[in-house]
Structure formats: structure tokens, C-alpha cells
Structure 1
Amino acid sequence: MRIPATGRSEAEIMAALEEYGVHDLPWREGGTFAYVYEGGRDVEAVVKAAYMRYLTENALDPTVYPSLLRFETEIVAMAVDHLRGDADCVGNFTSGGTESCILAVKAARDHARAVRGIAEPEIVLPVTAHACFQKAAHYLDMPMRLVPVDADTFKVRAEDMAAAMNESTALIVGSACQYAHGVVDPIPELGALALERQVLLHVDGCIGGFILPYFRRLGAAVTDFDFAVPGVTSISMDFHKYGYAAKGASVVLYRSKELRRHQIFTAATWTGYSVINPTIQSTKSGGPLAACWAVLNYLGDEGYMRFAERTLAATRRIADAVRATPGVRLMAEPESCLVAFTSDEFSIFPIVDAMRRRGWFVQPQLGYMGSRENIHLSIDQSTIDVVERFLPDLRASIEEARGSNEAAIPAPMKALLGSLSADSFTPETYRQLMAAAGTSEGLPEGTTAINEMLNAMQPEVAAKVMTEFFNDLYVSPKAA
């Protein structure tokens, strides 16, 4: 494909944009229980206006655009106050939770080298910690120790974290809340452990950090997880989730400038302009900054409290409905606005396709690392108003899956898949598996078979399959 020889009209371009999006998930209808966080049309209008006003401003150099520096410092100050930090706490605005967490890991690595003299710093984290921490360890070439969690609560135990630590441990991680099951790790116990061992503790509050303080104020039992907990040295929190800012908007916060210093990258040994990067990106649009600042000021504390009250009520309504439905059970009691459920009687993966046929998107999670396969629901403003329509369809889809109780792939095939080794896996193996799933190009129309195949594999083999799939997905479009 080449750049068009001649330009197209604005009308043609806008029509093409609409055409390209025709198969995207219809999130405006409230049927998407993952990925989307929507605060309403009025919020969207404010966010878009602020974003476009600062779309072309470049946050690379705050001395050129002091407005962007002001937005960032005010956003960080609001985040620090929201997470009960003091005047010594600092932070930076990032493109999302993954960047925030990578920066926290980078700061911990460099702090361990500079302050503690550790040549090869390590990170210790629960298997329920977001995969971005494993990504950080991979990118930053840090040894990583994964710790199993309690089989009933899906929370990590401080004693298990302690057993995994050694003299090279630079950072331990806890979640508030963890994404898969919607529960909060015992951060006070992890904080005490961090102080005892003199290591840093990062709390991943990307999905729960913003809304949990409101749930606490509404009377919900919320484990302390923020800077009020001694031993917590850094926190990540997204605004593009339950803060309803435009993607991507997140912050990484530190208890002190002394810690944050190790996050910053500076290069003077080249012939160009001075490079000082507090975050991973250099050039970056001021749009997300302005949009985040705008929505925080537009909704205010009262607006977010109103949203949180509705979200908490809807989460409890959905959790109650799952408890009352035969054949399924909650994975854990939700402590935020994330609900996960499974079945001990039948495969839950057909539920995903059954719901899709009814106009809903629910997210499958595979049964890895001690967690049974399950269905994940992220409760959001856009879904609250459709809960009473959603629940009958969910019950019908569960009954449909329960009634058929037929595996999408036969038992001998599952056994074969389980015996595959990551060491012997090849692109040809991948092509054979995709053909067995009913497709040689992309995913089949239904996802049950592919999910059951992945679920039968060892996690390391499944990772190879998904790598090959994405390697095939991002290729030049075929000529018409």
C-alpha cells in the first residue's frame, strides 16, 4: 500500500473513518464490560474540546509550554491528595498504567544500584500483579520472582512474598486492586515487610486507585493501600479509567523527590538539544494532559462521588445476580468494581460467544497460574443503565452453556495441547493449531474453540501461540 497519489476530501475521509469502525465494539450502547470507561456525552464533550485545544502543544519541553507543566503539577497534586500523600510526595503524568509501572520499576532498579550497591536488582511480585510488571522486568533486564497467591482469596500472603525475597530484592509489588479478580492485596502487611527488609514497595492502583477512596467514603470495607500505609514508596493510578479522562492518562507517584530522581533519564553526551525525560516518552501531545485536567475540574469531587455511588450499587447488583445463578460462582468477593465468575460444572467460554450474539462483550480469562478460567466484568458508567437488560441475557447465556455442556474440543486434543512444549514450538505448529481451530487467517467467528485450546496449553506455550497470532495480525493489508 502506498500513500495516495492525490488527496481525498474531508467528507471522503470522514466517511472512510466511519466505515473502518463499523465492526468495532458498540461501547456507546453500554454493552462492553471491558476496555471502555465512559462518563457520559457531556464529559466526553469537555474532554474532547480540551484535548483538541492542546493537541499540537508538545510536552517534551515544559519551558516552552508552561501551561502543560501547570496542568501536570496540578494533576499530580490532586492525585497525591486523593491517595493521602503529604507535601513531600511527587509524581509525573504518563501515557497509561504500563508506562507508570515501568517507570516505578526503573526507579527501583536504579535506586538499588545507586543507594544499596546491588549489581543485579530483582523484583518480587504476585502472579496476580498486572503483566506490565513482567514487561518491565523484561525490558529492563531484571530478574523476576513470581509468588503464588491464596487459592481462595487470590490475595498474596506477606509471608510468601518474604520467602521469595533475597539480598538482591529491589522492589516488591502489591495491587489495589488486581485486575483479574477485583481484590486488594494486604498492602499494610506488605508495607511492614518492605520496611523490615528495607526495600521499595510499589502499589499498582491503576484500575482501583481512583475509585477505591470513594468506595471507602461510601462505607465499603476498603483495605488501606495508599501513602497512609507506612512502607509504600510509589503508587500508579490511571485517570483514563474511573477518572474518565481521555486515553492515555495516568500518574506515577513517589513518596519523595529522592526516589523520583532515579526515574529521570538525562543525556548530555550527544550533539543535539538537551534531553531530560522524566517519563519514557520524549515528544508527546499536550492533549491528554489538558483533557485530564479538564475532566477533573469539570466533574469535581461531588461528580466523582455520584459516579462511584452508582458504580458500587451496580457492582453489588451484578455480584448478587451471579450468586443467585445455578452453575456459576464468584471467583472472589469483589472489593472494587470488577467481577469475575467461573463454573465448576461446565466450560464458561461458550458464555462469551452467547453474550456476543446478544450484543454484549464480556472478557474471558484463561485458567493459568492457580486461577480457574473465568469471565471478567468491569463495571462502568456506560453499563450501569443497562444492567437490568444485561442480567437476563447473562442468565440465558449461562443456561445455554450449561445446557449444552459440550466441549468445543475433544479430550484427546486437550491432552495433546497440554503436552506441547514451548521449546519445541515452531511457526508450523502454530499454523496447524489455527487450522484445527477452524481458521488459517485470524480468529474464527466464535472464540470458544480458541479459548479452550489456549486454556489447555501450558502458559508458556499459549504465549508462543499469541505471539505468532499478533505477528500475523499486524501486516500490510492485501491488495484489493
Structure 2
Amino acid sequence: MANVQSRLVLSWLVVQQWLQTPRIELAKNVLFIIVVYRLLSRFLYLVRLRGPVGLLVEWKQSIIRILLNRAKQLPGVRNKIQSELDKVIKKIQDDVAPVRPGETRYLQLPKQGFTAEQIHAELEKYHGMAKVDWKDGRISGAVYHGNEALSNLCVDAYRLFSVSNPLHPEVFPGVRKMEAEAVAMVLDMYHAPPSAGGVMTSGGTESLLMACKAYRDWARHTKGITEPEMVVPVSIHAAFDKAAGYFGIRMVQVPVNQTTFQVDVDAVRRAINRNTIMLAGSAPNFPYGTVDDIAALARLAKRHGIGMHVDCCLGGFIAPFMEKAGFHMPPFDFRVEGVTSISCDTHKYGFAPKGTSVIMYRSKQLRSHQYTVTPAWTGGVYASPSVAGSRPGALIAACWTALMSMGEAGYVETTRAIVECARRIANGIDRIDGLRVLGRPIMTALAFAADAPLNVHAINDAMSRRGWHLSSLQHPDAVHISCTLLTVGRADDLCRDLQAAVDEVRADPSLNEKGQAAIYGMAATIPDKSIIGEVAKGFVDALYIA
């Protein structure tokens, strides 16, 4: 035993002596300097990005979150929070997926298949479950056209290509051609150069996901960036949060100007660092309907040799036709030097059925970083342009049909009508005492806030009682409206009901403590947003209760 101890002591002395050699000392000092440099660089970057006060606020919030998370681990606190969460989620589930007495629930395959007559009868029952009449134009967004003739034409296309799959172009060459043509049409709308390329996706979210994935892979391949970051406004679509989580990209959010509600370009400039792979701006953004300064963002991106994405999903078939419809439109498309990709939804103001969008790149080489290629798969060489492998060719055919049916003249006409409607609503809101439109929206979407003591969420509740379905916003509290063709002709009705809603809330302050006003008021006071996240997950769970 003594010999073993002696050998251990001797070994330790040898190690200690080795650690004190000049080379090892040098290595330790270099390592120490690298660690300090990285920590100091990160600290100085955060100071530059947030400012000293902003950084202190972030640290304070982080400390509060840590303390709350520790407190939530205490059995009594954890049980109490879970009990309250269960009550809230149960109420959400009862509202979203109510169990109606006598209603049949299909939880297993029928032993024998239904006849066509039985299927039609059941479909009519399910169709009749809707309580909201979207055709009366009182819904924000959701249904953008509603024309029965166009819908029937798209249904005819869907029926004709119902079994088609662009994964097999040799079997369905017509679908391949229609997809390529639809992408080419959209590229032309956005003044893309001959080198440009695009891909059709399942919607705006997938288009944004694919852009982020392409920039991540491009930056890794060309710059060796392994810790990618993207700089985006707080008003950017939530799909960027999803992309950050899916693809391991740090999302650096910068504020919007509280007067214009456009991204603060100076804040973007301060946020760019050696790991930044892309910037993004909206034309327009969803919350406020404002258009970011795309030209200024593109100049920054070009100066730093990084990607610049324009999220034009909402404005996809409005922005390109603004000037022809007689409206001013700031630079936003491929004519802006430095813009390297644009997303455009065909299933919004393009009036195609839900499930199609186009993601465009200034070069086909950049587009190739979006692809997934598996050359050594045992099932054969595999290549896919986007997330899905098999895709519904019927939706591609229906999208092509909508584009060909509307034509440029049709889109110019609808742009003029919807934008004029949105501006009439904005002017009407500005005339209502206590309300104000946020920023300077120029297209089809806008948001309004309320001056204290009015509560804008209570006003939205009052609008809901009058049959309107508008969207609540937060940070700041506001209400969003996306005008569609169905909204055209209802602008005066909306403003009249909005005035009545304001009068109702002003006359009864207790409405500020009920409905959405109470929910958003409570949410604002909860420092631990993970609790709100659990409620949101409960809502998603409720969607799958049969």
C-alpha cells in the first residue's frame, strides 16, 4: 500500500513539474487569453447591440427567470402552478374541442367503408359545424378571395391532378411544367435577373425555413461559419423563430422604431458580427403592415457579404402591383442591389388554394444550398428541393390555374381595391378619439392601439360581439386587420362598429377586466413566459382531440 501511495505522489509531482514547463505555461496563457477574449468580445457585442441599460434589463430578466425556475421546482409551488395550468388548459380544450351530446366520434376505422351517400352526408355535417360566416367580410385575413367561380376552377384543376406527385416528373410531366411556370411568373413579377431561381413550397413558413437553411449551409460552405446568427426585426414572422430552432441558428432580434414601426437600421448595423449569415426585413410585416427599409438593409448586407432576405409572403401579390395600381411602393425586390432572396405567398393575395408559396434566390447557386441531396442512399440517389419529398401536384395545378385565371390585369385591379379599402379604414380609425394607427402602413394590413384609459383588447372583444374577427397583438398592445377582397365594401361598417365599440368600453371600464383584455393583461404581468408557452401548447394539443 505504501508503495502504491509513493508512486501516486511521484506521478503527481511529475505532472506538476510538467505543467510548469515553459511550453505548457505558454499554452495555458494562450488558452486563458482566448477564453477572456471570447467572453470580452461577447460582452462588448451585447453592449453595442443593447446598450448598457438594455443589457442590465436583460440580465435582470435572466436572473428573475432563473429564480422563478428554481421556485417552480419546489413541490408546493410546482403543484399550485400545475393545478392552475390544468384549469386554464381544460377550459381551452372545452372551447376548441367541445363534446356535444349525441355527436358521433370516429376514433377507429369503420368495419366497412362508407357509401358515397354516407360520406356526403357526413361531410355536410362537418361543414355545418362552422359558426363564423367568412363570406360576410368581417374576418381579418384567412380567406383572401372567396370568388366561387375561381374556387370552382381551382377545384377542377385539383380533381384533374389529384393523384399527381412532382417527385415523379417522368410520370407527371404536366405538373413539373406547371410548377416551373408558376415559379417563373413570380420571378418575373419581382424583376429577378436571368441567374435567379426559385422553388414552390407548402406556404410562407416553409419558404422562410428554406431561406434560413440555405443561408446556413452557404455560410458554412463558403465562410466556415459553424455558429451562425441572423439579425431580424422583432416584427419579423414567427417562422424565423422556428427556423432558428430547427437549424441551430442564433436569432438576434432588433427593435422597431416606435414611430414608424419599421426596423431600426442602426440597431441592425450594431448587431452584425463575424457569425452573421443573413439579415431579413418585411414588405410588409404582419403585425403593423409597415414596410422595412429594404434598400438600407440590403446595403448593409452587401457591405458585409451576407444574405439579405425580404419576407414578402403577406404582400406577395400586392407589392409587385402597387405602382401599376397607382400607389407609391418603396424599393423591395431584386432591383435592389444586395437583396439575395424573397419569399412570396401565392395562397394569400395570389388567390391560390392554401398550401403554396414561392421562395426565390438571386442565383441558382444560392438556391442549391436549400436542396437536400443523398447520393449514397441504398434506395437510390435522392434529391429534394424542399422539406417534403412527395408533394401534392394537385395544389401546384390549382396554383397555376389561379395565376393564369387572374393575370396581371386582375391582380392590379384587386390590389387597387384592397389597398383603397385598407386606407379608408386607416383614415376612419384616425378619426376615432382614443385610437391611433401604428406607423405608416401602405398596403393591405394595419394595426391600431388605444390611448389610456381605453384598453384595445377590450375594444377587440366588443368588436367580436359585433361579429368581427380581428387579431390581438402584444408589445405593444394593439389590434391587427388584414384586408382582403371580402373586406372591400365593409370599411365604413368596420369603422362605424369600431366607434361603437370604443364608446361601449369607455362607458363601462369593467370591460377592461374581462375577455382578451384580462388574458393579455395577465400575460403582461407574468415574468416567466414559459407558463404562457405551456398554455399555448395546451391549445395545440386541443386541436387533436377527436
Q: TM-score interval w.r.t. the shorter chain?
A: 0.7 to 0.9
- What TM-score, normalized to structure 2? 0.77
Secondary structure at the aligned position of 2:322 is classed as: helix
1:401 paired with 2:509, answer no
Secondary structure at the aligned position of 1:406 is classed as: helix
Match of 1:391 in 2: 495
2:529 partner letter: E
CA distance, structure 2, for counterparts of residue 11 and residue 326 of structure 1: 56
- Report how many residues are paired: 438
The structural deviation recorded for 1:95 is 0.5
CA distance, structure 2, for counterparts of residue 146 and residue 274 of structure 1: 39
The structural deviation recorded for 1:475 is 4.3
1:8 paired with 2:87, answer no
The structural deviation recorded for 1:471 is 4.8
Q: Which runs of 5+ in 2 are unaligned?
A: 1-106
1:468 paired with 2:537, answer yes
**What does residue range 102-181 of structure 1 map to in structure 2 within 5 Å?**
102-181=209-288
Describe the shift of the 1:18–1:387 C-alpha distance in structure 2 as closer, same or farther (beyond 3 A): farther
Match 1:287 to one of 394, 398, 409: 394
1:353 paired with 2:457, answer no
CA contact (8 A) 1:34 1:361 kept: no
- Point out the more displaced range, 130-139 or 14-23: 14-23
- What TM-score, normalized to structure 1? 0.87
CA distance, structure 1, for counterparts of residue 530 and residue 422 of structure 2: 35
Q: Give 1 or 2: higher helix fraction.
A: 2
Secondary structure at the aligned position of 2:279 is classed as: strand
The structural deviation recorded for 1:390 is 2.9
Secondary structure at the aligned position of 2:395 is classed as: helix
CA distance, structure 1, for counterparts of residue 138 and residue 201 of structure 2: 29
CA distance, structure 2, for counterparts of residue 407 and residue 137 of structure 1: 39
Secondary structure at the aligned position of 1:15 is classed as: helix
Match 2:520 to one of 451, 461, 480: 451
CA contact (8 A) 1:40 1:381 kept: no
Larger radius of gyration: 2
Describe the shift of the 1:25–1:60 C-alpha distance in structure 2 as closer, same or farther (beyond 3 A): farther
**What does residue range 77-476 of structure 1 map to in structure 2 within 5 Å?**
77-345=184-452, 346-366=454-474, 368=475, 372-406=476-510, 408-409=512-513, 446-458=515-527, 460-461=529-530, 463-476=532-545
Q: Which runs of 5+ in 1 are unaligned?
A: 410-436, 438-445
Aligned sequence identity (%) = 36
The structural deviation recorded for 1:385 is 2.8
Secondary structure at the aligned position of 2:308 is classed as: strand
1:72 partner letter: E
CA contact (8 A) 1:34 1:363 kept: no
- Point out the more displaced range, 319-328 or 57-66: 57-66
CA contact (8 A) 2:372 2:385 kept: yes
Describe the shift of the 1:312–1:140 C-alpha distance in structure 2 as closer, same or farther (beyond 3 A): same
Secondary structure at the aligned position of 1:50 is classed as: helix
CA distance, structure 2, for counterparts of residue 96 and residue 32 of structure 1: 20
- Point out the more displaced range, 316-325 or 48-57: 48-57
The structural deviation recorded for 1:143 is 1.4
CA root-mean-square deviation: 1.8
CA distance, structure 2, for counterparts of residue 10 and residue 294 of structure 1: 28
CA contact (8 A) 1:182 1:340 kept: yes
CA distance, structure 2, for counterparts of residue 365 and residue 399 of structure 1: 21
1:5 partner letter: K
How big is each residue's C-alpha offset from its partner over 1:276-313, in whole Å with a ceiling of 9 and x where there is no partner?
Answer: 11011111111111111111111111111111111121
CA distance, structure 2, for counterparts of residue 471 and residue 382 of structure 1: 28
Match 1:59 to one of 154, 162, 166: 166
How big is each residue's C-alpha offset from its partner over 1:73-118, in whole Å with a ceiling of 9 and x where there is no partner?
Answer: 1111111111111211100001000000000000000000001111
Secondary structure at the aligned position of 2:402 is classed as: helix
Secondary structure at the aligned position of 2:458 is classed as: helix
How big is each residue's C-alpha offset from its partner over 1:25-65, in whole Å with a ceiling of 9 and x where there is no partner?
Answer: 32122221132212512221112211222121012232332
CA distance, structure 2, for counterparts of residue 209 and residue 304 of structure 1: 11
Describe the shift of the 1:167–1:67 C-alpha distance in structure 2 as closer, same or farther (beyond 3 A): same
CA contact (8 A) 2:298 2:336 kept: yes
How big is each residue's C-alpha offset from its partner over 1:449-478, in whole Å with a ceiling of 9 and x where there is no partner?
Answer: 33333344348346424433235414443x
CA contact (8 A) 1:355 1:397 kept: yes
